[in-house]
Amino acid sequence: MHIHGNTFIVTGGASGLGEATVRELVQHGANVAIFDINDEGAENLAQQLGKQVFAAGKVDVTSEEAVKTALDKTVAQFGRIAGVINCGGVASAAKIARRGKSSHTMTLDLFDFTVRVNLIGTFNVCRQVAQIMANQDAFTEDGERGVIINTASVACTDGQAGQVAYAASKGGVASMTLPMARDLAPAGIRVMTIAPGIFETNMTSHMNEAAKAKIIKDAIFPERMGRPHEYSMLVRHIIENSMLSGEIIRIDGASRLGKL
């Protein structure tokens, strides 16, 4: 799949891994539609990067109607859709119970919210984008009609204390990879998942230095957090390499998270 001249959707594209992905794709000649709940941030980025980028408005990925409206706008703006990169998500941290009295425990509402955004929101976007791509003309001689790249996390297997909701949501994203690839293969659509370790994003910017040091020590090499550009480089390779489908790729400096 070529990047240049084709159109890709990036959820969570106004910041973090999503923003880096938008910049990477634009740099290589793509048109990009940003789906983000932060419509102001998406619009600012679109203005900065020029006419190749379209801010689709305030897009709640958990809303079927909001995603449909954004997709209709994207098709009207750019035409065929070559792929979607799902970077939108939330982080939550709370243990499910503690000894003694504590208000800081995992509530059902917080668990539901985390799973709804990270897992159900990802599925909602995948399902609707896939339906559009399945009915397009193929982009390649292999019959490829699109690529879906989802974002899980190393927490899906290495979840730390307080990450029950987050790990469950990202585990669901990882588990969808192969069956979704099998579902969509007859339509010429590839499905891949990236499982990042700890990256320098808005989610980690609020961590204190002691917490960051504990996490970084779990990396084998390099001993630092990942940089968003390194994630976006992997996105680019997945798009361009048609033999990649149905797999989860960790990008984490060989880290294995400790219990924290």
- Cβ burial 11-30 (10 Å sphere, 16+ → b, else e): bbbbbbbbbbbbbbbbeeeb
- Which residue is catalytic, options 166, 199, 226, 239? 166
Residues whose CB falls within 8 Å of the CB of residue 220, separated by 6 or more in sequence, listed in order: 253, 254, 255
Ordered DSSP codes for 150-192: EE--THHHHPPTT-HHHHHHHHHHHHHHHHHHHHHGGGTEEEE
- Find out whether 55 and 39 touch, Cβ atoms under 8 Å: yes
Residue 210 burial (10 A CB sphere; 0-12, 13-18, 19+): exposed
Does residue 231 carry a catalytic annotation? Answer: no
Task: Catalogue the active-site residues.
Answer: 166
